[in-house]
Chains A and B, each alone.
Chain A
Amino acid sequence: MSTTELTPEDFQPLPTQQTAEQLTRPSLSYWADAWRRLRGNPRAMASLGLILALMAFVTVGPVVWTVDPSAQDLDQIGISPGADRSVTLAQPFTPWTLAQRLAATTLSPDTDLRLAQPATTQAVRLVWPDAGTSYRLYRNIFNPQDTGAFGLPLADLQQPYFEDRLDLQPGTYFYTLVTLDPAGQETLMTQSLTANVTRVISIAEAKARGILAPDEPGEIGAALELGWHPMGTDYLGRDMLARLMYGGQVSLFIGLLAPLAFVLLGVIYGSIAGFLGGMTDQAMMRFADFVVALPFLLFMILFKVVFGIGPGESGIWPMLVAMIILLWPAPARLVRGQILQIREEGYVSASKLLGATTPYVVARHMLPNTMGVILVTITFQVPSAIFTEAFLSFIGMGVAPPTPSWGAMCNEGIKSMLTRPHELMFPALMISITVLAFNLLGDGLRDALDARMRGTEE
């Protein structure tokens, strides 16, 4: 038997084997995995981009487009986008003197209804030969020959002249003069006139509007351009683009803050109930069931009536508070269910065995594991909060004028829907785009974050 001589070299540790058991890919945390899934979902990414663009529109927008949303442009009321903005400088309006009237009537006494002077937005002055009876004058923005209607009755007259100053807008007006019989009944004798009204502005007005520099003298008859409203103006002449931006601030503020607030309240309530368990849990959940049973919109309206809106208040905060009071139970139930489930999980027991304190278990294990569900809930609550704000503002129970919000703008726009559709369509489009974006993002987030809900809608 020969013995092997052992040298100290034989007891050297072997070099570590580099190639065995090596992770070839970086380990993915839950959030990294969720983000990877979300990025792979083109619809969700597009809606995320859309939401960021909307945020930029309401926050950066007012910095770029510095028009006051409550400033009224009285020369351009209810104009649609891309309307003609040209205006002619003219003398200030002066009353129609008797001498001027007589001069006009005697100038060519035999012709029919005619203009005493060119029709402008200051006044349309009409004269006609006097037949010694009385007359009724009508005005229409549509041609009476097409529609068969004379339009708006302006006045019953004894004298053969009339000055029309009623809400004149640039464009074509069709005047019809009906001769009345002695009993005051309309006869078949009519005269008609088509007047092309041009927009005029006096030098002082032009300077006040800021379209003529204060030191410029201004020349009568010179053409100027009125202020630019890329999306038109509303029924009070306020700039639609600026109002959409500021209205979006209100709508998105409520739409984002309300879900954040009531979901947070629900999370606290639900996790307390779920963690304590037993009788406390039962009592807390019965109360939540109660609040759930309340008809939501009716109570929103009731709360709004109860809170009231004082002078100068916007009514945003009462709406927020009412939403928080009424909507917390749904997330509370959800979180309680999750907590009850997680409480029994092995990793929670393991953590407790290793001596973890309750706050540590809640913060380190329970909340991160419910975070996905909570985030999805918030995303889906945003559209319904925006809808609620829009609905309440639409029936006149939302934010108080003059505070703009998309819902309130729709409410104002629907009244003139047939003649000026842009006043309704722009805010309606904004609401729809926002709600659509949040719905799609919610779908994507649910697919990415929540393994249990994954694929339930597909």
Chain B
Amino acid sequence: MLKYVAKRVLLGLVTIWFIASATFFGMHAVPGDPLAGDKATTAQIRANLAAKYGLDKPLATQYWIYLGNIAQGDFGISYTQENRKVNDIIREHFPVSATLGILAIVFAALGGILWGALTALYRNRWPDVVIMFLVILGISVPSFVVAAISQWSLVNLNQGVGATVLPIGGWGSIWHMLVPALVLGLSTMAYLTRLMRSSLLEVVNTDYVRTAKSKGLPATRIFSQHQLRNAILPVITVLGPAIAGITTGGFVVEIVFAIPGLGRYFVQAIQQLDYTVIMGTTVFYGAFLVFMVIAVDVIYGFIDPRVRVDQ
């Protein structure tokens, strides 16, 4: 197990190095000049600015400095916001995104397991049909449309009641988080429902369920103790990639609901071509996702020992 974890972590580090290098050389291949603005009015000012940002050194030297800084967790200074460190930006905005993401994952996992169990229990009867129809809908409607429609409904709800039942945007209390987190988790919830349903239906025909039945266990106990516990396993495996999906899906939800998260900041940085912020955020997000997937895989190895044998 320890060897497996070490191998995964090592591979993860190499992946992060790859991400960092691709980001670095990619951004340096961008046509245009980050200093070509109204700041650099004369050649002297331009040279001073280049020296300040280290842009006067050869590319290889810049690359080594960059790698060294990243290894120490330093992503540099923003180009467009004077004297603002990328680290500070991440520190300030990432907790917001993370809170929203965790809440969305909780919604998605709970909802997915609950709805999936319901569809499997009522297979081919009306609850199954209705939920599966909603699931297909949840997979087919883009997240920004769901976000827009839910915000529009919130506006109408507040207008109809005549008071602010739920805020339509912004950040602060738990009430600000509810609807964005639901929207963010919706497509993952739909996907998990589908997965849960099929894995529950697979489990129904296994030997241990038949044994439990022949022992005379009540159906509710078979369902909760034997079927559900085994069917949840595949759901946990996809949680890693689901975290990745929810992080990037967060960009849209944060924009629509005006939430000051890192995703919204990232999109802003792209639109302003703030190179250091783009690079820093990409590497940070990339590293976060890589380690999330590893963490989920390792946890899965603890829950289901068969996986370790396969590795």
B-contacting residues of A (Cβ < 8 Å)? Answer: 289-290, 293-299, 301-303, 305-306, 308, 383, 387, 390-391, 394-397, 407, 410, 414, 417-418, 421, 424, 428, 431-433, 435-436, 439-440, 456-458
CB <8 Å contact, B285 and A295: yes
Q: How far is the CB of B148 from chain A (nearest CB, A)?
A: 5
18 pairs, A vs B, C-beta closer than 8 Å = A289-B11, A293-B12, A293-B290, A294-B22, A295-B248, A298-B248, A303-B26, A305-B27, A305-B278, A308-B32, A390-B142, A390-B144, A394-B252, A414-B144, A414-B256, A432-B140, A432-B142, A435-B142
With A294-B286, A295-B244, A396-B267 known as contacts, the answer to whether A432 contacts B26 (CB < 8 A) is no
B75 within 8 A of A: no
Q: Is the pair A410, B142 in contact by a Cβ cutoff of 8 Å?
A: yes
- Given that A394-B252, A410-B142 are contacting pairs, would A305 and B270 also be in contact in the complex, using a CB cutoff of 8 Å? yes
- Please indicate which of the listed interface residues A395, A396, A410, A456 has the most CB atoms of chain B within 10 Å of its own CB: A395
Verify if B298 is at the interface (C-beta below 8 Å from A): no
CB of B296 to closest CB in A, whole Å: 14
Q: Is the CB of B148 within 8 A of A414?
A: yes
Contact with A along B180-208 (1 / 0, CB 8 A): 00000000000000100010010000000
Tally of chain B residues near chain A (CB < 8 A): 47
Query: How far is B30's CA from A303's CA once the two chains are assembled, in angstroms?
Result: 10
Q: Which residues of B contact A290 (CB under 8 A)?
A: 14-15, 18
Shortest Cβ distance from B245 into A: residue:
A297
A417 partner, pick from B12, B152, B278, B282, beta carbons under 8 A: B152
With contacts A298-B285, A302-B278, A395-B251 known, is A421 near B152, CB below 8 A?
A: yes
Q: In the complex, A395 Cα to B32 Cα: how many Å?
A: 22
Give, as a whole number of angstroms, the nearest-CB distance from B235 to chain A. Answer: 15
Residue of B nearest to A387 (CB): B142
Find the A residue at minimum CB distance from B19: A294
Report yes or no: B248 in contact with A297, Cβ–Cβ below 8 A.
yes
Closest residue on chain A to residue B155 by CB atoms = A418
Query: Which secondary structure dominates chain A's binding surface?
Result: helix
Are A456 and B198 in touch, CB under 8 angstroms?
Answer: yes
Q: How far is the CA of A458 from the CA of B201 in the complex (A)?
A: 8
Task: Say yes or no: is B237 at the interface (Cβ < 8 Å to chain A).
Answer: no
> A414 CA to B152 CA in the complex, in Å?
10
Docked Cα-Cα span, A298 to B18, in Å, equals: 14
Task: Determine which of B22, B142, B273 lies in contact with A428 in the assembled complex, contact meaning CB atoms within 8 Å.
Answer: B142
Residues of A within 8 A of B293 (CB): 293
**6 closest cross-chain pairs (CB), A and B:** A436-B140, A428-B145, A297-B248, A435-B140, A306-B26, A293-B15
Interface: B224 (CB within 8 A): no
Instruction: Tell me the B15-73 residues at the A interface (CB within 8 Å).
Output: 15, 18-19, 22-23, 26-27, 29-32
User: How many angstroms from the CA of A435 to the CA of B190 in the assembled complex?
Assistant: 15
**Bound state CA distance, A305 and B34, in angstroms?**
13
B136 at the interface (CB under 8 A from A): yes
Known: A428-B148, A431-B141. 7 other contacts (CB 8 A): A302-B26, A302-B27, A302-B278, A383-B140, A418-B155, A428-B145, A457-B194
Contact B198 A457 (CB under 8 A): yes
Asked if A428 and B201 make an inter-chain contact with CB atoms under 8 angstroms apart, the answer reads no
In chain B, positions 253-303 with a C-beta closer than 8 Å to chain A are 255-256, 267, 270-271, 273, 278, 282, 285-286, 289-290, 293
B5 on the interface (CB 8 Å rule)? Answer: no
Judge whether B144 and A394 touch: CB under 8 Å. Answer: yes
Task: Name the distance in Å between B100's Cβ and chain A's nearest Cβ.
Answer: 17
B145 in contact with A410 (CB, 8 Å)? yes
Q: Does B134 have its Cβ within 8 Å of any Cβ on chain A?
A: no
Query: Given A298-B282, A417-B148, A418-B152, is A439 in contact with B140 using a C-beta cutoff of 8 Å?
Result: yes
CB distance from A108 to the nearest CB of B (A): 40
> Within 8 Å CB of B142, what residues of A?
387, 390-391, 394, 407, 410, 428, 431-432, 435
Question: Which residues does chain B contribute within 8 Å of A397, judged by CB atoms?
Answer: 270
Q: Are B286 and A298 within 8 A (Cβ)?
A: yes
Question: Which A residues touch B271, using CB under 8 A?
Answer: 396
Q: Inside 8 A of B248's CB, which chain A residues have their CB?
A: 295-298
Q: Give Cα A296–Cα B289 distance, bound, in whole angstroms.
A: 11
Q: How far is the CA of A293 from the CA of B22 in the complex (A)?
A: 13
Give complex CA distance A73, B205 in Å.
64
How many Å lie between the Cα of A428 and that of B149 in the bound state?
Answer: 10
Residue of B nearest to A443 (CB): B136
